[in-house]
Amino acid sequence: MKFGKNFIWGAATSSYQIEGAACHDRGGLSVWDMLGRQAGKIVNGDTGDVACDHYQRYKNDVDLMAQIGLQAYRFSISWPRVLPEGAGKVNQHGLDFYNRLVDALLEKNITPWITLFHWDYPYALYCRGGWLNRDSADWFADYTAVIVDQLSDRVSHWITLNEPQCFIGLGHHDGVHAPGLKMGLSEVLLAAHHALLAHGKSVQAIRANAKTLPVIGAAQASKISIPVSDHSNDIEAARQHMFSVREKHVFNNAWFSDPMILGHYPEEGVKLFAADMPNVLPEDLACIKQELDFFGTNIYSGNHIQATADNGYATIEIKGLAETAMGWPVTPEALYWGPKFFFERYHMPVVVTESGMANDDRVDNGRVHDRERIEFLYKYLSEYARAIEDGVPALGYFLWSLLDNFEWAEGYSKRFGIVYVDYKTQQRIMKYSAYWYKALIASHQGGHIKDALPEVDIAPTLDSV
Ligand code: GCO
């Protein structure tokens, strides 16, 4: 399994999922704080009020990143922590937290990659219409300018939106994510359009205000289509399926990526949505389509696609696939076909901005033997390496996640971290997978795996790096 010497090895988190202390130091509420107050919306009634207490414990967490040997760390900024009302007055305490975090990362030679929006939308702006209000694009651009002005002397890597498919689709259509709305398709498409405008204006704000040359992308929730065979018909069927828009829902690849990168909505979707389409002003698509430096994709699993006689395709259920604790099938080839198909369509370097698995991790004598996660990572990364060997330019990989954390509607019931978090004591324990990842990174930095051999015996799995 070989990656280039300049390949970036990172891990990812998000503000609401790990920071806690939402209103501490005069921060503002987000829509996730409000959803947590609605009975039955989140497993066990969990909230992000404390989470991993990262707001207080960030230094210890940065030390853990350095122990693992991360070269980069993808985290998000809490918009309402910095702008309690979402717009207007800045909360300097909030900005100072991110200044301290960035400085702590740089001190350990860890490159900060900042996600500007990872779902914690300011509740005050939700009360002014939220994503349904076209002003949300300007609100987001103004917030972007505040962050870039404060941090861009030390931060150059920016992700505007994390998974619009989720925060619009699950938050405004299905109602299972914050703000918990079940809107009609036309309202969902209008909110999606405003989120796309927000992305475009945010990119413009970064490029206008950055003090260092910015590297900019977005992070898509990616549904990967995997051909059931290497037959050219099945590969073409999977390629078509991957960018099709045949369901009346925005949880798909092309609906957001095509406008951002190609400058137009996918025709198939425009036809399907027809009367529900938003009123797209003449200048809108030019605003949305801004030059990007990488294609960010969050990949966990994929569907198997087979060509059908009528030049169409069918989704094939593969029996007996292993599943993660989220019930997602383990499909390592998703990390081959996803980067490949995205590069073919958008012709820009790929960054896997998230990939990983939830596992039923348990502490045994102070250790967490998450061999399932090591096997998952080895298989998925082997496929990513194969895509790179086949010519896909890939800049890096951000493992989801550094820490066990608040898994949205699942609360704390699902553990994605390579570092175990005991939520009662806030103790952190590096799992076997953290040691494995450390060895993998070391082996790709010209170091010797033996140098990275941890204090725990994971030798049997090290053969797989
Ligand atoms: C997402 C979000 C993450 C999730 C992770 C596991 O992709 O849904 O970016 O915040 O926690 O993906 O579901």
- Please give the positions annotated as active site: 163, 354
> What is the number of alpha carbons within 13 Å of residue 213 lying toward its C-beta?
1
Cα separation, 404 vs 425, in Å, equals 14
368 CA from centroid of ligand 1 (Å): 22
Mutate which of 166, 400, 401 to test ligand 1's pocket (most atoms within 8 Å of Cβ)? 400
Question: What is the structure's pLDDT at 452?
Answer: 44
Share of the chain above pLDDT 70, in %: 96
Name the β-bridge partners of 379: none
Ligand 1 pocket member 163 (CB < 6 A) = yes
Q: Are strands 157-162 and 394-400 parallel, antiparallel or unpaired?
A: unpaired
Which positions ≥6 away from 336 have C-beta within 8 Å? 383, 384, 386, 387, 390
pLDDT higher than 70, residue 307? yes
Cβ burial 199-237 (10 Å sphere, 16+ → b, else e): bbbbbebbeebbeeebbbbbbbbbbbbbbbeeeeebbeb
Cis peptide before 401 (omega within 30 of 0): yes
Taking 70 as the threshold, does the pLDDT of residue 272 lie above it?
A: yes
**Residue 5 pLDDT class (50, 70, 90 cuts):** confident
Mind listing the pLDDT tens digit for each residue in 78-88?
999 999 999 99
Judged against a pLDDT cut of 90, whether residue 453 lies above it is answered with: no
What is the C-alpha separation between 92 and 94, in angstroms, rounded? 5
Query: Average pLDDT in the 339-363 region?
Result: 98
More reliable by pLDDT, 442 or 116: 116
The chain-wide mean pLDDT, for the chain, equals: 95
- pLDDT tens figures, 183-196: 999 999 999 999 99
Q: Is the CB of 188 under 6 A from ligand 1?
A: no
303 Cβ below 6 A of ligand 1: no
Residue 446: pLDDT band (50, 70, 90) is: low
**Cα 182 to Cα 165: distance, rounded to the nearest angstrom:** 14
| Residue 457: per-residue pLDDT | 52
Find out whether 144 and 214 touch, Cβ atoms under 8 Å: no
Q: How many CB atoms lie within 10 A of CB 462?
A: 19
114: left (phi over 0), alpha (psi -120 to 50) or beta: beta
Distance (Å, whole) CA 299 – CA 303: 12
Residue 456's SS3 state is: coil
For residue range 330-346, list pLDDT tens digits in order: 999 999 999 999 999 99
Q: Does 416 sit in the ligand 1 pocket, CB within 6 Å? A: yes
Percentage of residues of the chain with pLDDT beyond 90? 92
Choice among 3-7, 171-175, 330-334, 411-415 with the minimum mean pLDDT? 3-7
Which of ligand 1's atoms lies nearest the C-alpha of 358? 6
d(CA 160, CA 140): 9
- Residue 393: exposure state from Cβ atoms within 10 A (0-12, 13-18, ≥19): middle
| d(C-alpha 347, C-alpha 355), whole Å | 21
Angle between helices 432-443 and 54-68 (to 10 degrees): 50
Ligand 1 proximity of 306 Cβ (cutoff 6 Å): no
Å from CA of 355 to ligand 1 middle? 9
Pocket test for ligand 1, best of 17, 354, 412, 415 (most atoms within 8 A of CB): 354
What would the pLDDT profile of 116-173 be if each residue is shown by its tens digit? 999 999 999 999 999 999 999 999 999 999 999 999 999 999 999 999 999 999 999 9
Q: Taking residues 375-388, report their average pLDDT.
A: 95
C-beta of 150 in contact with ligand 1 (< 6 A): no
The distance from CA 337 to its chain's CA centroid, rounded to whole angstroms, is: 18
Is the distance from the beta carbon of residue 16 to the nearest atom of ligand 1 less than 6 Å?
no
**pLDDT of residue 403 exceeding 70:** yes
Q: What is the pLDDT of residues 146-155, one digit of tens each?
A: 999 999 999 9
Residue nearest to atom 4 of ligand 1 (CA): 407
Which atom of ligand 1 approaches the CA of 298 most closely?
7
Pull the structure tokens for residue 68. 């693992």
- 166 CA: nearest ligand 1 atom: 8
CA of 221 to the centre of ligand 1 (A): 8
CA proximity to 304, closest of 318, 325, 319: 318
